[in-house]
Structure 1
Amino acid sequence: MRILVTGGAGFIGSHFVRELIAGAYGLTGSDVIVVDKLTYAGNLANLTPVAGHPAMRFVRGDICDAALMNDVMRGVDLVVHFAAESHVDRSITDADAFVRTNVAGTHTLLTAACVAGVGRFVHVSTDEVYGSIETGAWTEDYPLEPNSPYSASKAASDLMVRAFHVTHGLDTCITRASNNYGPYQFPEKVIPLFVTNLLEGATVPLYGDGRNVRDWLHVADHCRGVALVAEHGRAGEVYNIGGGTPLTNRQLTETLLEIMGKDWSMVRQVADRKGHDFRYDLDYGKATAEVGYRPATTLKSGLAATVQWYKDNAAWWQPLKPARVE
């Protein structure tokens, strides 16, 4: 089998590639083509553990480049599409790159996949396309109500994937995941931002009153869920991949402070983000029933291991924060 992984040098994509090459999934023995533009969040260092492996080929390129995508798509059996602009704050100040990469780039890939006769196209999306939910948890049939330019661009890409399945018969699956955390995450995201700031002796910025709720999912669980959907998901279906661990931002902050031996004096409250969704929570029962997905990493152990990774790998993250990200 030949597998094309887009965004494979990013945080989540690189974890998938490292585990795929290591034989952690049922897709073992595959040849893997990794495509990544290496923007600020893409980093070849993320692939160091598998660099030079005979089963992997790295291609630096833009998923909006139709000629390149047509070329790398030849002979591909499975596409796992992680490549995306994903930081909400950046989308609020400048949404252009989000529309280009997340919508136009996904369209380019889908078109190339149809031309090449790809067997399956797995599109990795986000719970943020659902908007905000006051109580309960989203199932896959919940209406899409995105509230940020980022989530709107992902919702648009989800609909494009659906359209290519219905119109062109492309075998597609969509996964929608909770907030990810784990090693190699770029330090603009809340957990690595807070951890690295605290390691540097800097304060951490907490939006508003800290009552916003997010469901947290370790990257290892997320990628295993994506692999299960790639292997066993039904064509044309959407699968939620959740962590089952919703926390307020304040609770998350308190947990990180406790792990790192810090107190609330290291927290500074900042003005809330525009259009800040209040609460996310995913029902992943469908993924459990149909593909056998369940999260395996507890939040307590996952956060402790993540903090330790950043402590042990300052050489990886310090160059990414030349002017402290706050």
Structure 2
Amino acid sequence: MPNRDSILITGGAGFIGSNLTRAAIERFEEVYVLDNLTYAGNIRNLHSVEDKITFIEGDIREHEIVSEIYEQVEVVVNLAAESHVDRSIKSGIPFLQSNVEGAYVLMELLQEHDVDRFIQMSTDEVYGSIEEGEFSEGDPLDPSSPYSASKASADLFVNACWETYDLPITIVRPTNIYGPRQHPEKLIPKFTLRALSGDRLPLYGDGSNVRQWLYVKDFCNALLQIVDHDTDGIYNVAGPERRSNIEVTKAILERVGASESLIEFVADRAGHDKRYAIDDSKLQEEIGFDPQYGFAAGLDETIEWYRKHRDSYQ
């Protein structure tokens, strides 16, 4: 396994990025974080580790900033993205700018710098919905929202750069990730905070949409294992358990001690995919990834974190 000392985490002040930053400082001598501090990126997410990282506020589309950082690092993990489906339905332009143009700028500049490994964050949503069975890495892409279309587009550009220029690129496609520091527009933190306050929980449709759930600490470990193994290509990263949205909602209410009467079924989201399911046997066999958190344990830690930090979201 290669020995590397420096890493750049784009979007490092966001949910996954701030958790990965904390894991990375245990592994790398130098950790650089690049974040534009949009609504989803909050410098408070890096509280307590500021003195252990080099933070740069900036946009991944800014060639000069990216080039300067590339001169300093061996590994790049691109987590900078617009990721909320509801926002993409209202306007897809920010998703095109960040998720496609931004990813391509990062790709293009790889050709000019000696970066050992680049990891592009994608999503299982690029495959679309599947009624039964699981998607594998070779299945066709069939995105159904502006968000997932932007990530699928980025995947194609990244793959093209890999094939054309022989760049050291890995694409990861995870399932739904949850845990501490996630923006409260997402289901688990939103419903946790609302349940703690006794507010209504607006659940799309009948709540039967199914997702695989992966705790953020497990996902960060998967990313670092991929860095260690230094392999090109595409890897699905699956959560160990599937739950419907109504099951997740009831699990939150039970842990908070709130009544299920808080659930309010609302009109379903446009183009709402029914079921996501991916097969990550390739990751297990080639990298040896083994999630350590079941859904119950991960949800317990997540809810406890939001319970302690709820004042930050008032």
TM-score (norm 2): 0.97
Aligned length: 310
Name 2:237's counterpart in structure 1: 241
Match for residue 11 of structure 1 among 10, 15, 21 = 15
Name 1:38's counterpart in structure 2: 37
Matches within 5 A, 1:87-106: 87-106=84-103
After alignment, is 257-266 or 173-182 more displaced?
257-266
Please state whether the residue corresponding to 2:118 is helix, strand or coil. Answer: strand
Match for residue 264 of structure 2 among 248, 258, 268 = 268
The answer on 1:286 being equivalent to 2:290 is no
User: Do the aligned partners of 1:244 and 1:282 also contact (CA within 8 Å) in 2?
Assistant: no
Q: Which amino acid aligns with 1:270?
A: V
Match for residue 304 of structure 2 among 291, 301, 308 = 308
Report deviation, 1:287: 0.6
After the TM superposition, list the runs of 4 or more consecutive aligned residues in structure 1 that deviate by more than 6 angstroms: none
Deviations 1:88-128 (A, max 9, x none): 00000000000000000001111112211211111111100
User: Do the aligned partners of 1:233 and 1:291 also contact (CA within 8 Å) in 2?
Assistant: no
Using the alignment, how far apart are the partners of 1:160 and 1:292 within structure 2?
Answer: 28
Matches within 5 A, 1:128-139: 128-139=125-136
Report deviation, 1:233: 4.4
Using the alignment, how far apart are the partners of 1:311 and 1:254 within structure 2?
Answer: 17
Please state whether the residue corresponding to 2:264 is helix, strand or coil. Answer: strand
Report deviation, 1:263: 2.0
Matches within 5 A, 1:43-192: 43-53=42-52, 56-192=53-189
User: Do the aligned partners of 2:85 and 2:145 also contact (CA within 8 Å) in 1?
Assistant: yes
User: Do the aligned partners of 1:122 and 1:172 also contact (CA within 8 Å) in 2?
Assistant: yes
Match for residue 225 of structure 1 among 222, 226, 239 = 222
Deviations 1:146-189 (A, max 9, x none): 00000000011111111111111111001110101100011000
User: Do the aligned partners of 2:172 and 2:235 also contact (CA within 8 Å) in 1?
Assistant: yes
Using the alignment, how far apart are the partners of 1:281 and 1:274 within structure 2?
Answer: 20
Deviations 1:270-306 (A, max 9, x none): 1000000000112111111111111110111111111
Using the alignment, how far apart are the partners of 1:2 and 1:250 within structure 2?
Answer: 42
User: Do the aligned partners of 2:117 and 2:230 also contact (CA within 8 Å) in 1?
Assistant: no
Match for residue 193 of structure 2 among 189, 192, 196 = 196
Using the alignment, how far apart are the partners of 1:3 and 1:29 within structure 2?
Answer: 7
Using the alignment, how far apart are the partners of 1:289 and 1:10 within structure 2?
Answer: 30
User: Could you list the runs of 5+ residues in structure 2 that have no partner in the other structure?
Assistant: none
User: Do the aligned partners of 2:74 and 2:117 also contact (CA within 8 Å) in 1?
Assistant: yes
Report deviation, 1:50: 0.8
Name 2:205's counterpart in structure 1: 208
Using the alignment, how far apart are the partners of 1:233 and 1:153 within structure 2?
Answer: 26
Report deviation, 1:199: 1.3
Q: Which amino acid aligns with 2:279?
A: D
Decide whether aligned partners of structure 1 residues 247 and 29 sit closer, same or farther in structure 2, where only a CA change above 3 A counts: closer
Please give the root-mean-square deviation of Cα atoms over the aligned residues, in Å. 1.0
Percent identity reads: 45
User: Do the aligned partners of 1:126 and 1:178 also contact (CA within 8 Å) in 2?
Assistant: yes
Using the alignment, how far apart are the partners of 2:128 and 2:228 within structure 1?
Answer: 29
TM-score (norm 1): 0.93
Name 1:323's counterpart in structure 2: none
Using the alignment, how far apart are the partners of 2:230 and 2:144 within structure 1?
Answer: 28
